[in-house]
Chains A and B, each alone.
Chain A
Amino acid sequence: MLSISNLKKSFQLTGEIFLPVVSIEDFVLEKKQMVAIHGTSGSGKTTFLHLIAGLLTPDEGSIQLQGVDLQELKESRRDFLRATSIGYIFQSFHLLQSCTALENLLIAMSFAGQVNVDGAKEMLDRVGLKDRMNHKPGEMSVGQQQRVALARALINKPTLLLADEPTGNLDAGNAESSLNLMKELCISSGASMLVVSHDSNVINSFDHQINWVELNQVSKGEPCK
């Protein structure tokens, strides 16, 4: 489903000095598989997810999603693929503050080319926000915002759900229920899930766990020319 090989990404510091952040020889995520990557903050996990989502372009290597090499796609096709096939949950949710919960979902649907108001309402109902769909994020609790983010990430029935510290802003109780809901929705929609986190509670709730330090070949943040 997701196949990565020889992936490299570095960022320019000054002049010709570059900081390597990601270097992954081989990574595969099967269909419907749920994998958690464990690593410390600032070690490049978010960059890795951004590369998979096509938000960043790698320096080298290939990322294949459902057999399609992202680097071979034009940017506009990559954007459309992101809208239709990838759901992304951020630690700080990244909801559109000026829009209601329902509008947040509809906007995500519009970029995938199909808007279904009833479908969006049904999804919000599934995450327990039937009565809050016309509220803006600022009018909701953190746990409710997280559920809007989850609903938005899954509204276009993606094949891959990426979650970056998905429970980072939640208390223990909310974190557990949120993770369970995320898994449940992924199972029912048949999506694969890739979670990155530094929280051992999150990591331990997954059968498949990967240590980021073992996956990422970058030696500890030393700049190179």
Chain B
Amino acid sequence: MQMIRPGLGIIFFLALRGLQKHAFSSFLAILTIAMAVGLFLSTWKINDDTRLAFHHSAGGFDAVLGARGSKLQIILNSLFHLESSPGNLSWEQYEIIQNTKGVKEAYPIAVGDNYLGYRLVGTDPELLTSHQWKPGQGYEVEEGGRVFSPLAKEAVVGSLVAQKVGLQVGDQFHPYHGLNFKEENKHQDIYVVVGILEATGTPADRVIWVPIKGIQLMDGHDKSMSHSLSAVLLSLKGAAGFSLDMKYNRQGNVATLAWPVASTLSSFFDKFTWFQKILELVAGMIAVVGTLIIVLTLRSSMNERRREFAILRCLGASRQSVSTVIISQSLILACLGVMAGFFVHFLIHIFVSHIIQENTGVLMSGFSVGFMGVYVFCAVLFVGLASGILPARQVYKADLSENLKHHT
């Protein structure tokens, strides 16, 4: 009742009453717009956020040296701890690249074992003590823990692993052979947890860090592999990337240098562009359905409200006022739809972030609608406005006397 005020107040009141009267079709219109907005924003934004999150989760490395094979496979295996290793490198290759001019840091890693499905990554303890995984930020071990010794059967557990399997400092565990957990592949070695890593929001959170010697000399591993490793993680200085690219990728045939990491990752995401296009198309189709529902809601509302609008005119409402009621209804539907769409986007963001973090350890950035959200908001309002124009025009041109007469 407080809304009944001259000007916009009465128009808003009448528009809301009209929508209340057609609550079900109004709800359907809002729901379809929400689905379209939520799907479109999620498709667009999650793709962008995922790319960004993966680029920020490269662990502060510029390149990875791996066995001859796919650059993408080397990066996914070494930096994101996904997929299998394309093969092994010899220890000599590690020593050569470590001493190459332009190489700032070189950390060997070896993989091939897991604990309950979480990978064991063998490396040099300096990776956890000296390396900065993002500018100015090194790895930190939670209070009461420490980094493993290079020759001991000790482990530092990533925060996500600790949370999922409940490992604590002082706990012991048997590693399992292979990257996938199979109970029959249990190694006899026993590792002691000496530290839990502080969460980083990177793939480092979902692995168990052990000394590289531990992987190389694990009970049951082939003795010939005791001097081999899976990859070397590299930080480079100046133009070293170009010269190493030339040396390993164009002239050599024993190893592959996955460099630069960012463009290799981009090519990975580009492979999914078709999927994004399909989702955008689906979102577009839902948006069309939403628009049609708005138009139908307004038209059915208008047909039933001819008499009401005629009465309002008798009470002194101008043609502009009654047609503005119709426009307001479509704008309210669009506005509520886009708001609900942001909420749908928020839910999808939470769901997808959870899935990505569970499977890769990569933490997505916080929820935001960004500038695309503003564009979508304006676009939906425009569509709402446009879909209200035709019914509003009919109300504007309606024969007042006739509409009163038909219902008396």
- What chain A residues lie within 8 Å of B17 (beta carbons)? 98-99
Query: Do most interface residues of chain A lie in helix, strand or loop, or is the interface mixed?
Result: helix
Contacts known (A50-B401, A91-B408); A84 close to B316, Cβ less than 8 A: yes
> Is B317 an interface residue when CB atoms closer than 8 A count as contact?
yes
* Min CB–CB distance B357 → chain A (angstroms): 50
B311 touches A111 (CB 8 A): no
| B103 at the A interface (CB under 8 A) | no
Smallest beta-carbon distance B313→chain A, Å: 7
Task: Tell me whether B1 and A106 are in contact (CB under 8 A).
Answer: yes
Shortest B12–chain A CB gap in Å is 11
- How far is A47 from B404 in the complex, measured between Cα atoms in Å? 11
**Taking the complex as formed, is A211 at the interface, i.e. its CB lies under 8 A from any CB of chain B?**
no
Query: Interface-forming stretch among A23-31, A112-120, A178-186, A200-208?
Result: A112-120
Contact B314 A107 (CB under 8 A): no
Answer whether residue B134 sits at the interface, using C-beta atoms and an 8 A cutoff: no
Contact of B314 among A82, A99, A114 (CB under 8 A): A82
Which residue of chain A has its CB nearest to the CB of B14? A107
B319: CB under 8 A from chain A? Answer: yes
**Is residue B397 contacting chain A, with contact meaning CB distance below 8 A?**
no
**8 Å CB contact of B315 from A56, A98, A107:** A107
A53 to B313, alpha carbons, bound, how many Å?
Answer: 11
A104–B174 Cα distance when bound, in Å, is: 79
B305 — nearest CB in chain A belongs to which residue? A98
Residue A102, interface by CB 8 Å:
yes
Q: Which residues of B contact A115 (CB under 8 A)?
A: 4-6
Contact B314 A55 (CB under 8 A): yes
Report yes or no: A107 in contact with B312, Cβ–Cβ below 8 A. yes
Chain B residues with CB under 8 A of A98:
17, 20-21, 308
B170 at the A interface (CB under 8 A): no
Does B320 interact with chain A (Cβ within 8 Å)? yes
Q: Which of A72-80, A139-147, A213-221 contacts B (4 or more CB under 8 A)?
A: A72-80
Tell me if A94 counts as interface (CB < 8 A to partner B).
yes
Taking the closest CB of chain A, its distance from the CB of B232, in whole angstroms, is: 75
* Cβ A107 vs Cβ B401 within 8 A: no
Which of B14, B21, B311, B316 interacts with A112 by CB under 8 Å?
Answer: B316
Q: Inside 8 A of B6's CB, which chain A residues have their CB? A: 110-115
Q: Give the number of chain A interface residues (Cβ < 8 Å).
A: 37
**CB pair B400 A75 closer than 8 Å:** no
Question: Restricting to A62-90, which residues have a CB under 8 Å from any CB of B?
Answer: 75-76, 79-80, 82-84, 88, 90
Q: Which of B374-408 contact A (CB under 8 A)?
A: 400-401, 404-405, 407-408
Contact B400 A55 (CB under 8 A): yes
**With known contacts A90-B408, A115-B4, A55–B10 Cβ distance under 8 A:** no
Q: Given A102-B1, A106-B1, answer yes or no on A83-B404 (Cβ-Cβ < 8 Å).
A: no
Give chain A nearest CB distance to B353 CB in angstroms. Answer: 44
Contacts of A95 in B (CB 8 A): 311
Contact pick for B317, options A56, A79, A92, CB 8 Å: A79
Q: For A111, give its contact among B308, B316, B319 (CB under 8 Å).
A: B316
Query: Which residues of chain A come closer than 8 Å to B314, judged between CB atoms?
Result: 53, 55, 82, 88, 90, 94
* A110-B313 CB under 8 A given contacts A75-B318, A90-B408, A99-B17: no
Name, among B1, B312, B321, the residue most crowded by chain A CB atoms within 10 Å (CB to CB): B1
- Contacts A107-B10, A108-B315, A111-B10; is A76 near B320 (CB within 8 Å)? yes
Q: Are A76 and B318 in contact (CB under 8 A)?
A: yes
Contacts of B9 in A (CB 8 A): 110
CB of A139 to closest CB in B, whole Å: 16
Number of interface residues of B (CB under 8 A): 31
- Complex CA distance for A97 and B316, rounded to whole angstroms: 18
Q: How far is the CA of A92 from the CA of B311 in the complex (A)?
A: 11
Check if B408 sits within 8 Å of A110, measured CB to CB: no
* A residues less than 8 Å from B401 (CB atoms): 47, 50, 55-56
CB neighbours of B405 from chain A (8 A): 46
By beta carbon, the residue of chain A nearest B20 is: A98
B316 touches A80 (CB 8 A): yes
Q: Do the beta carbons of B315 and A83 come within 8 Å of each other?
A: yes
A56 to B315, CA, bound (A): 14
Residue in A84, A95, A109, A117 whose Cβ sees the most chain B Cβ within 10 Å = A109
From B315, B319, B408, give the contact of A75 (CB < 8 A).
B319
Interface string of B311-340 (1 = CB under 8 A from A): 111111111110000000000000000000
Q: State the CA gap A75–B401 with chains docked (Å).
A: 15
Q: A50-B401, A107-B4, A107-B10 are in contact. Are A55 and B318 (CB under 8 A)?
A: no
Shortest beta-carbon distance from A221 to chain B in Å = 17
| Complex interface: chain B residues within 8 A of A4 (CB) | none
**Which listed residue, A47, A50, A79, A94, touches B311 by the CB 8 Å rule?**
A94
Q: Within the assembled complex, what's the spacing in Å between the Cα atoms of A132 and B314?
A: 24
B318 to chain A, nearest CB (A): 4
Give the docked Cα–Cα distance between A97 and B401 (Å): 19
- Min CB–CB distance A156 → chain B (angstroms): 8
Q: Are A110 and B1 in contact (CB under 8 A)?
A: no
**Lowest 9 CB-CB distances: which A-B pairs, in order?**
A83-B316, A111-B316, A110-B10, A106-B4, A79-B318, A94-B311, A108-B315, A82-B316, A92-B408
- A residues apposed to B, CB below 8 Å: 46-47, 50, 53, 55-56, 75-76, 79-80, 82-84, 88, 90-92, 94-99, 102-103, 106-115, 117, 152
Can you give 15 contacting A-B residue pairs, CB < 8 Å?
A47-B401, A53-B314, A55-B404, A56-B400, A75-B318, A75-B319, A76-B320, A79-B317, A91-B408, A96-B311, A106-B4, A108-B316, A111-B10, A111-B316, A112-B6
- Given A83-B315, A98-B20, 10 more A-B residue pairs with CB atoms under 8 Å apart are A50-B401, A55-B401, A95-B311, A96-B311, A98-B21, A103-B1, A110-B4, A111-B312, A112-B6, A117-B1
